[in-house]
Amino acid sequence: MNEQNIPLDVQTRVAELHDILNRANYQYYVLDTPELPDAEYDRCLRELQKLEQEYPSLVTTDSPTQRVGAEPLSAFTQVRHELPMLSLDNAFSDEELQDFDRRIRDRLNSQNAVEYACEPKLDGIAVSLLYRNGVLERAATRGDGTVGEDITQNVRTIYSVPLKLLDGDVPPVLEVRGEIYMPKAGFAELNDKARAAGEKLFVNPRNAAAGSLRQLDPKITARRPLQLCVYSVGLVEGGELPERHTDILEQLNRWGFRINSEMAVAEDIDACIDYYRKLGEKREQLPYDIDGIVFKVNSIPLQKRLGFVARAPRWATAYKFPAQEEMTKLLDVEFQVGRTGAVTPVARLEPVFVGGVTVSNATLHNRDEIARLGVKVGDTVIIRRAGDVIPQVVSVVESRRPDDARDIEFPDHCPVCDSPVEATPGEAVARCSGGLICSAQRKQAIKHFASRKAMDIDGLGDKLVEQLVDEGLLHSVSGLYHLELDALVALERMGEKSAQNLLDALEKSKDTTLPKFLYALGIREVGEATARNLARHFGELDALMQADTEALQQVEDVGPVVAHYVAEFFEQPHNLEEIEALKQAGIRWPAEEQQGGEQPLAGQTWVLTGKLETLSRSEAKDYLQRLGAKVAGSVSANTHTVVAGPGAGSKLNKARELDLPVLDEEALIAMLRERGIEI
């Protein structure tokens, strides 16, 4: 830096601004506990930019203004890793993990339990970050382990990558290694944008992260929601590091790096197996993809004694989870008709074990999706099944396309009732125009009507509905209330007791609430929340049935589209007949308390966390919403109050860090009662 012509107070201020901004980044992106308000951050950044414009010699590579802005490259240059970047051995069962532990103890000639560090294996891209005197000098991909590519310009744009390390005794040369990944939420948002723009979608977060780092123009990378999480050190010169792996990571965290908050120490291999199970259960809820757990001998001296074989250390292994993506063959495509007539193509697959279950069907969504995938019958496809989400076809392996692969043809008549299939302009879905003539739509409408959140008819499962419709015993939802014992008993696999139970359940379901009844009707776009808002706004069914689209749009969260569907539903004579028939059958509900202007919690966002004991979570949510509050799933500076029950974890911690009001369940109930809610 040429400091000759720069006033001392400017130099001091610039150093101060670096410090403020670096700390704010660290709080926000590494520790997840923002402290500086956004507006203040922006003011500081602008002040720094202005000073740097005035005194260009103040611009250093570690300045917080230097995250974006580098010119596009024409190619990446190669980087040699002084210490090779290794890979990991895998284990696929408890036995294989125990073998790993046994080999270690044999080699150490020890009967004692070995302590392990446990870390989720993030599914991203391995990187090496080289810091000289605490300043980021170079970032590189792993490549073949010996030679990678220089991606410094791209990596600088990631806010959780410190450009300069926080104070402390940082070794003059420090190479840190970790994973760059894209969190699930950012990935979904990125693909939503790509879909809206008609661009090609990314197959999964890992590919999206890899593609983002491979950009020659860092401005593109800067727009991608990437994260860094570090998991080891490489080359270290000068300075001392702790003797346990987990302590090294804690030290890296203090220097400014993000480490995995799930990291734990296990006292022996059994504790590792426990950890693997627990994280497996949590896998879907984690905000990022993981494909296994990495177990590492925690003692660095023991790691050194154990050394390496070929390209992997003896002291670490990755215990993999069942793969969430597999390859299989698309045998055929069939078309299913849903409750609203939507005709959905369903892929029939050669059975494949993925995400822990055998999958032989996957949804193809609609015509646009088929076009986007470019998939043909006979193709080899990649199937993804994550958690309880229905299996998806994510891509086609075009190199394996057989000569006799054939195009998927969309039917122009309903495969169930033969009514014409109509495409709605501006919509990707095609619909059977048969309405309730179509037995497929009828079945779905009845299943929905009977479901738990609707009329909650115990014992009326999907299979039974299908049987009743197929046997000609049931033609409409109101028909449910005219089913007779003899006819039910005559059904295959139906005993007298279950038939009577079903009739009792039907009788019981007649006592309902207006929101549940509205939801049960299956009006398009009217989910539980909208049904609740409609019921509360109008108070009674007749008023709602007479409302025009303008009146409907006065209801919270009801826009023109929903208003149109609601009005249209109540215009159709057969819907009115059904409602009348249901009322005749004895369906009743208490008058709904109409929502007055009284919304004392309007504008507030509340978060519920931990276990509630008196109220159920949905009751608590419902009451809060009645008083005008929004109920959100995560804590931020915008949260008004957090309700925490036993077992509350990170959300409660965050609330404390942000100094937000926290109520326990008792206090919540007192507050609700005070505002007129009867509990």
Q: Which residues are at the interface with ligand IVH (CB under 6 A)? A: 86-88, 119, 121-122, 126, 142, 179, 231-232, 294, 313, 316
Crossing angle of the two packed helices 205-213 and 184-196, in degrees rounded to 10? 80
Whichever of 122 and 446 has its CB closer to ligand IVH, that residue is: 122
Whichever of 86 and 607 has its CB closer to ligand IVH, that residue is: 86
Whichever of 121 and 651 has its CB closer to ligand IVH, that residue is: 121
- Kindly report each contact of residues 68-73 with a partner whose C-beta sits within 8 Å and lies 24 or more positions away, as own/partner: 68/156, 68/157, 68/218, 68/219, 68/222, 69/218, 69/219, 70/153, 70/156, 70/218, 72/216, 72/217, 72/218, 72/219, 73/153, 73/216, 73/217
Whichever of 143 and 378 has its CB closer to ligand IVH, that residue is: 143
The amino acid occupying position 571 is E
> Least separation, in Å, of the C-beta of 646 and ligand IVH?
31
Whichever of 234 and 539 has its CB closer to ligand IVH, that residue is: 234
Whichever of 232 and 395 has its CB closer to ligand IVH, that residue is: 232
Phi, psi of 308 (to 5 degrees): -125, 155
Alpha helix segments (H runs only) across 357-513: 367-373, 439-450, 462-470, 485-489, 496-509
Residue whose beta carbon is closest to ligand IVH: 126
Whichever of 121 and 244 has its CB closer to ligand IVH, that residue is: 121
Whichever of 124 and 355 has its CB closer to ligand IVH, that residue is: 124
Alpha helix segments (H runs only) across 55-162: 94-108, 152-155
Task: Give the burial class of 258: count Cβ atoms within 10 A of its Cβ; 0-12 exposed, 13-18 middle, 19 or more buried.
Answer: buried
Q: Which of 649, 595, 646 lies closest to 622, judged by CA?
A: 595
Helix (H) / strand (E) containing 640: none
Cβ 272 vs Cβ 316: under 8 Å? no
Whichever of 294 and 359 has its CB closer to ligand IVH, that residue is: 294
DSSP states along 45-82: HHHHHHHHHHSGGG--TTSTTTTS-PPPPSSPPEEE-S
Whether 121 is catalytic is: yes
Catalytic residue among 50, 121, 282, 508: 121
> Least separation, in Å, of the C-beta of 645 and ligand IVH?
32
Angstrom distance (rounded) from CA 627 to CA 596: 10
Task: Give the burial class of 213: count Cβ atoms within 10 A of its Cβ; 0-12 exposed, 13-18 middle, 19 or more buried.
Answer: buried
> Least separation, in Å, of the C-beta of 650 and ligand IVH?
20
> Least separation, in Å, of the C-beta of 415 and ligand IVH?
46
SS3 (DSSP) at 181: strand
Cβ 503 vs Cβ 483: under 8 Å? yes
SS3 (DSSP) at 263: coil
Angstrom distance (rounded) from CA 345 to CA 366: 6
SS3 (DSSP) at 614: coil
Half-sphere exposure of 354 (CA within 13 A, CB side): 25
> Least separation, in Å, of the C-beta of 544 and ligand IVH?
54
Whichever of 16 and 243 has its CB closer to ligand IVH, that residue is: 243
Residue 26 DSSP class? I
> Least separation, in Å, of the C-beta of 248 and ligand IVH?
12
Residue entry with tokens 């948002």: 189
Whichever of 313 and 522 has its CB closer to ligand IVH, that residue is: 313
Q: Which two tokens stand for residue 77?
A: 């240059």
SS3 (DSSP) at 240: coil
Angstrom distance (rounded) from CA 579 to CA 570: 10
Phi, psi of 112 (to 5 degrees): -75, 155
> Least separation, in Å, of the C-beta of 29 and ligand IVH?
19
Crossing angle of the two packed helices 94-108 and 269-282, in degrees rounded to 10? 150
Angstrom distance (rounded) from CA 412 to CA 658: 57
Cβ 416 vs Cβ 406: under 8 Å? no
Angstrom distance (rounded) from CA 64 to CA 17: 9
> Least separation, in Å, of the C-beta of 71 and ligand IVH?
29
Whichever of 241 and 658 has its CB closer to ligand IVH, that residue is: 241
The amino acid occupying position 437 is I
SS3 (DSSP) at 374: coil
Q: Which of 62, 202, 222 lies closest to 151, judged by CA?
A: 222
Phi, psi of 389 (to 5 degrees): -65, 140
Overall residue count recorded for the chain in this entry:
679
Residue 391 DSSP class? P
Other residues' Cβ atoms within 10 Å of the Cβ of residue 504? 12
Look at phi and psi of residue 300 and say left if phi exceeds 0, alpha if psi is from -120 to 50, else beta.
alpha
Other residues' Cβ atoms within 10 Å of the Cβ of residue 618? 13
DSSP states along 429-462: -EEETTGGGSHHHHHHHHHHHHSTTTT--TT--H
Whichever of 180 and 342 has its CB closer to ligand IVH, that residue is: 180
Active site residues: 121
